[in-house]
C-alpha cells in the first residue's frame, strides 16, 4: 500500500490513508488481523513443507522413473508415490519446526 504526501498551500502532510485510487476501505489497515496461534503456525509449516516436498517428488521421482524406462501407468504410479512420500516427509519436518518456534 502506498501513501502520499498531501500538499495544502505551503504545508506538506503525510497521509497514509490516501492511496492512488482514493481512501483505504475501513477495516483494511495493516496489523488489524487475528493473532496467529501456535496451531496455525504448525498448519502453515506443514502446508508449505508438503508443497515443497511435492515439487521435489515430482522432479526427482519423475527423472528417476524416466531413467528406469517407466511409461504410462507405471510412471504415474511411481511418481505419485514419490510425491506423497516426499511431501509428507518434508511437511512433517516443517510442522515440527513450526511447533518448536511456538
Contacts of 6 (CB under 8 A, 6+ apart): 12, 13, 14, 15, 18
**Full domain range(s) for residue 72:** 38-101
Domain assignment present for 26: no
Region 66-81: mean pLDDT is 92
Domain assignment present for 92: yes
| Residue 8 φ/ψ, nearest 5 degrees | -135, 100
Q: Say what angle helices 38-67 and 73-101 make with each other, to 10 degrees.
A: 150
35-65: per-residue pLDDT in tens? 888 888 899 999 999 999 999 999 999 999 9
Domain assignment present for 23: no
Domain assignment present for 83: yes
Asked whether the predicted pLDDT for residue 10 surpasses 90, the reply is: no
Amino acid at each position: 500500500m502506498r501513501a502520499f504526501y498531501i500538499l495544502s498551500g505551503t504545508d506538506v502532510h503525510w497521509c497514509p490513508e490516501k492511496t492512488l485510487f482514493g481512501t483505504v476501505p475501513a477495516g483494511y489497515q495493516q496489523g488489524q488481523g487475528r493473532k496467529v496461534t501456535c496451531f496455525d503456525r504448525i498448519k502453515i509449516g506443514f502446508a508449505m513443507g508438503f508443497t515443497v516436498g511435492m515439487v521435489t517428488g515430482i522432479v526427482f521421482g519423475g527423472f528417476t522413473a524416466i531413467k528406469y524406462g517407466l511409461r504410462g501407468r507405471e510412471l504415474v504410479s511411481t511418481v505419485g508415490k514419490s510425491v506423497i512420500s516426499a511431501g509428507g516427509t518434508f511437511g512433517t519436518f516443517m510442522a515440527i519446526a513450526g511447533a518448536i518456534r511456538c
